[in-house]
Amino acid sequence: MSAKHTIAYKMARTIVLLTLCLGFVLGSLQVAWDYQQRLESFNRQVEHLIGSVEKAAIKAVYTFDTGLAREVASGLFEFPPISHVVIRDEQDAIMATLQRYRGQLPHSWVSDYLFNKQYTYRVPLHLEKEPDASIGSLRIQVTPHDMAEAFLKRGVIILSSTLVQSFIIAIFLFYVFHNRVTRPLQILAQDFSKITPETPEKNMLSLTSSMRSTEFEEVTSAGNNMLTVIGSYLTAKDTAEADLTRQKNETERFLQIAEAIILQLDKNGCITMINQRGLEVMGYQENELIGQNWFETAIPPEMRLRVQKVFSDLFEPIVPLGQKQHSSYFENDIITKNGHLRRVYWHNALETDREGNVIGILSSGQDITARKDAEDALKVAEGSLRAIIEATSEGFAITDLKRLELVDINTALHEMLGFSRADMLFQPIAKFIHPNDRHILDSYHQEAQTQVHRSFELRMLCCDGSSVPVEINVSTLPSETSQTPCSVAFITDITKRREQEKSQSLLEKQLRQAQKMETIGTLAGGIAHDFNNILTPILGYSSLISSRIPKDDPNYERMLQIAKSAKRGADIIKQILTFSRRSESERKTISLSPVVQDAMQLVKATTPANIDIELHISQNCPPVVADNTQIQQLVLNLCTNAAQAMTEEGGTLKVEMGLCDIDEKLAKTSLNLHEGPHIRITIEDNGHGMDEKTANRIFDPFYTTKESGKGTGLGLAMVHAIIQEHKGEIFVETTLGHGTIFTTYLPVSCAPVEENITEHEIESGNNECALIVDDEALNTNFLEELLEEVGYQFESYNNSMQALDAFTAEPNKYNIVLTDQTMPKLKGHQLAKAIREIRPEIPIIMMSGYDQNVTAEEVSEFDVDLFIQKPVPIDKLTHAMHQLLNEKREES
């Protein structure tokens, strides 16, 4: 260590300076005191001198004695310090003056600062009797040359002696201080310099015997204790540093393998540390990121200000309690090296130095891109699902299974029941269930844990107190889906479905009825052909015979009755075929009023006298498209059944007919009914009525409740078939013991009423040759006799192949062809086609009893001029032949 920096040197310098300063101060005080004493002594001398000459000066002035004045001045000049004397009279005129120059003061560079160059004394002169009246003045100027020289010599002596004394004292004090302080300190310093830094406790401080019981003993003891403590501290420090190094290494390893992004930023936002996970997510090398500004490197421009605001807020002081704290949690997008965006969730903490000053931010981030994408997709799915649920016409509800309360509903549900959303949320579900159906809900809740999915129907209550039938499809949510057990339910208003089911039941009933009709039709079709073939000669011969005998012959009426019976039989066959839908009825636009009235005439004639008949037939009803015979049959059958129900006790038969409008509700009950105007026919009786089982089967074929021989079971079945054929509908209302009401609806027509076609006379031929083809010999024989009667030639064949051969051999021989349809080997339409290929212009009339394989549409496609259903009236046949032959003649 340099000597100038030792404590001994500094202490000696301090002592010397202090003693010298102290001596200088004391000497200066002594000099100042001496200076003051000399000034006072000088002033006293001058005042004494003035006092000694004052009377003489007064006398000289009073007597105007200038000589005396000069003597006084000369006397004053005897005092060496005086340099100028002036005596003035009362008029201020100078009576005597003396002046001398003594030069500059000795040692003027100092004296000028301590003394004035001259001191002036002015004494007014006045008489003793008149002390206030001045008669003149005495002015003396004194120069302090002698006093200054004496003072300076004295001051030098005083200061020199004082400084010498102070220096001697300083040397003595330095010697004492060196031995008592500096030397022991040097010894301590040497001991301290010998201390080994690694093991300070092994190098104790020593102390001389002379220093015992002094402060140095305390210092030495404290130093030794400190060395012991420092040694222990260093040992602990080494251990702590080793642990810290180990922990640091472990922390670094943890940072490298951590799945979280560990990021350290300084207060300026520059990156000071980032772990391996952060580098992997961002795609950078460590040297590419360290020192870079995080916000400019990793934050998208559109988010930069917001993220920087969050970063800045973290450095703000903690706000008072009750105010919003700055959150240290947030998430944002970061930009990777390849330009992709990753969503990261950050947890931030302030970093401080040892003094507690904030130096930066330490952030832990989780890459939640995949989770965020999944959440976004889930939000979209939830939004879509919510939109779907809100858009669906079905009600939707989520129920808390613990409290049995509604926790969520859609618009469709509260609109279905007429409540507001607020009125239903968090209300008991039982509040909206019909009291009689709440057991169904209780049953579901008991089985909700075992049966995840269930469907059931019940009635829910509306806000107006009414109920609505609903179907509920409910599922219990899995326990992991929600914290509390819940169920979700779709609630469908099944009011219309119930109505449709009711209508469907009716339609199914009608379908079963139609299937039964099909069965009867198959049976009817099987006998229709043969029966018509039998009726053809009966009707033909009776008509032929009646034309040959006079009208007054008793057999004429008999023949007419035979013909009428044959026609009746033909109508029955037609009704059977129509009933079974094996043939089309002959419908036309008619007015129902006369038809119903004619039918009621027959009803009145056959109804017992104990039954009253009430008719209410509107005459202004629009026409309908109907078969006259079938409508009469319908009225007769319904009235007959009504009359039979009242035979024993009598009653009233009410028949009403009028115009009505079918509404939408009624139209939905049947496929045949449509909205609009219809003719309604109501037949009501107050007979014994029917039970529900009987009412459900009254339209079944062959079903009857009458005794054997009194009913066939086809009456109401035929009525039902007629109504269906006319695109109408029939309904029955009955109560056992109170009667029955049958109501039929027939659609009106906008077409005008068609006039009845009059019967034709039997027309004769002109010897034309007809080719007759029928596999029934009875029919060919009848036709031969008929044609011969009316003037035709003919050739008949019971084999269609032979007939074709005959025509092929002589095609020009024949003028017209009459053929049956249903024949073996070659059917009628096939024969007609073959004949047309030979002679396209020849007239062909086809006749058929019934062929279930031939429909009306197919008949229109047969290449024939006329199709006639057997039995064939002879007037219709001869008229048709005559008309066709005339048309051919006119064409030729």
**DSSP per position, 13-37:** HHHHHHHHHHHHHHHHHHHHHHHHH
Q: Are residue 370 and residue 396 in the same domain, yes or no?
A: no
Q: What CATH number has the domain bearing residue 800?
A: 3.40.50.2300
Question: Side chain identity at 548, as an amino acid letter?
Answer: R
Distances from the Cα of 573 to the Cα of 182, 529, 565, angstroms: 159, 9, 12
Q: Are residue 360 and residue 458 in the same domain, yes or no?
A: no
Tally of structural domains, the chain: 5
- On whether residue 191 sits in a domain, the answer given is no
What is the structure's pLDDT at 624?
Answer: 92
Q: Band the pLDDT of 802: cuts 50, 70, 90.
A: very high
DSSP strand E in 431-532: where?
453-461, 467-476, 486-493
Token pair recorded at residue 81: 């310090």
- Comparing 88-92, 565-569, 697-701, 720-724, which segment has the lowest mean pLDDT? 565-569
Reported as a single tens digit per residue, the pLDDT across 124-171 is 888 877 777 788 888 888 888 777 777 777 777 877 887 787 778 777
Q: Are residue 640 and residue 712 in the same domain, yes or no?
A: yes
Distances from the Cα of 357 to the Cα of 267, 351, 352, 463, angstroms: 11, 8, 5, 68
Q: Are residue 369 and residue 397 in the same domain, yes or no?
A: no
Reported as a single tens digit per residue, the pLDDT across 665-685 is 888 888 888 899 999 999 999
Nearest to 687, CA basis, from 658, 659, 648, 646:
646
- Comparing 3-12, 72-81, 487-496, 750-759, which segment has the lowest mean pLDDT? 3-12
* Position 694 pLDDT exceeds 60: yes
Reported as a single tens digit per residue, the pLDDT across 697-709 is 887 766 666 655 4
Domain boundary among 347, 374, 401: 374
Q: What CATH number has the domain bearing residue 313?
A: 3.30.450.20
Domain boundary among 436, 463, 493: 493
- On whether residue 44 sits in a domain, the answer given is yes
Domain boundary among 693, 715, 747: 747
Reported as a single tens digit per residue, the pLDDT across 31-52 is 778 778 877 877 888 788 888 8
The DSSP element (H or E) to which 652 belongs, if any, is: strand 651-662
Q: Are residue 406 and residue 273 in the same domain, yes or no?
A: no
Q: Are residue 8 and residue 133 in the same domain, yes or no?
A: yes
What is the structure's pLDDT at 136?
Answer: 84
Q: Are residue 475 and residue 602 in the same domain, yes or no?
A: no
What is the structure's pLDDT at 743?
Answer: 95
Q: Band the pLDDT of 324: cuts 50, 70, 90.
A: very low
* Position 654 pLDDT exceeds 60: yes
- On whether residue 178 sits in a domain, the answer given is no
Token pair recorded at residue 513: 């009825």
Percentage of residues in the chain with pLDDT exceeding 90?
Answer: 14
Token pair recorded at residue 287: 């040297």
Summary mean pLDDT of the chain: 80
What is the structure's pLDDT at 480?
Answer: 58
* Position 657 pLDDT exceeds 90: yes
* Position 406 pLDDT exceeds 50: yes
* CA–CA gap between residue 154 and residue 30 (Å, rounded): 10
- On whether residue 529 sits in a domain, the answer given is no
Q: Band the pLDDT of 207: cuts 50, 70, 90.
A: low
What is the structure's pLDDT at 878?
Answer: 87
- Comparing 113-127, 204-218, 295-309, 752-766, which segment has the lowest mean pLDDT? 204-218
* Position 459 pLDDT exceeds 80: yes
Q: Are 159 and 28 in contact (CB under 8 A)?
A: yes
Nearest to 576, CA basis, from 520, 529, 515:
520
Pick the more confident residue, 75 or 222: 75
Q: Band the pLDDT of 575: cuts 50, 70, 90.
A: low
Q: Are residue 649 and residue 729 in the same domain, yes or no?
A: yes
- Comparing 260-269, 345-354, 385-394, which segment has the lowest mean pLDDT? 385-394
- On whether residue 795 sits in a domain, the answer given is yes
- Comparing 210-224, 445-459, 467-481, which segment has the lowest mean pLDDT? 210-224
What is the structure's pLDDT at 787?
Answer: 87
What is the structure's pLDDT at 198?
Answer: 63
CB atoms within 10 A of CB 605: 7
What is the structure's pLDDT at 524?
Answer: 61
Question: What is the pLDDT averaged over residues 454-471?
Answer: 90
* Position 323 pLDDT exceeds 50: no
DSSP code string of 157-200: HHHHHHHHHHHHHHHHHHHHHIIIIIHHHHHHHHHHHT--SS-G
Residues near 631 by Cβ (< 8 Å), separated by ≥ 6? 590, 592, 595, 596, 599, 722
Strand pairing report for 329-335 and 866-869? unpaired
- On whether residue 506 sits in a domain, the answer given is no
What is the structure's pLDDT at 709?
Answer: 47
What is the structure's pLDDT at 321?
Answer: 43
Pick the more confident residue, 54 or 510: 54
* Position 610 pLDDT exceeds 50: yes
- Comparing 34-43, 44-53, 378-387, 792-801, which segment has the lowest mean pLDDT? 378-387
Question: Side chain identity at 723, as an amino acid letter?
Answer: I
Question: What is the pLDDT averaged over residues 756-772?
Answer: 77
* CA–CA gap between residue 254 and residue 268 (Å, rounded): 27
* CA–CA gap between residue 686 and residue 735 (Å, rounded): 10
Question: What is the pLDDT averaged over residues 774-802?
Answer: 89
What is the structure's pLDDT at 226?
Answer: 72
DSSP code string of 350-387: EEE-TTS-EEEEEEEEEE-HHHHHHHHHHHHHHHHHHH
Q: Are 347 and 383 in contact (CB under 8 A)?
A: no
- Comparing 364-378, 503-517, 570-584, 820-834, which segment has the lowest mean pLDDT? 570-584
Percentage of residues in the chain with pLDDT exceeding 70?
Answer: 81
Question: What is the pLDDT averaged over residues 387-391?
Answer: 79
DSSP strand E in 223-280: where?
261-266, 271-274
Q: Are residue 589 and residue 736 in the same domain, yes or no?
A: yes
Pick the more confident residue, 486 or 858: 486
Q: Are residue 117 and residue 265 in the same domain, yes or no?
A: no
* Position 2 pLDDT exceeds 60: no
Pick the more confident residue, 714 or 553: 553
Q: Are residue 22 and residue 139 in the same domain, yes or no?
A: yes
Which residues form the domain of 811?
Answer: 769-891
Residues near 169 by Cβ (< 8 Å), separated by ≥ 6? 19, 23
- Comparing 79-83, 517-521, 745-749, 787-791, which segment has the lowest mean pLDDT? 517-521
- On whether residue 665 sits in a domain, the answer given is yes
* CA–CA gap between residue 886 and residue 708 (Å, rounded): 56
What is the structure's pLDDT at 851?
Answer: 54
Pick the more confident residue, 769 or 79: 769
Question: What is the pLDDT averaged over residues 541-566?
Answer: 75
- On whether residue 525 sits in a domain, the answer given is no
Based on its alpha-carbon atoms, the radius of gyration of the chain, rounded to whole angstroms, reads: 75
Q: Are residue 35 and residue 119 in the same domain, yes or no?
A: yes
CA 187 from chain center: how many Å?
88
Pick the more confident residue, 756 or 128: 128
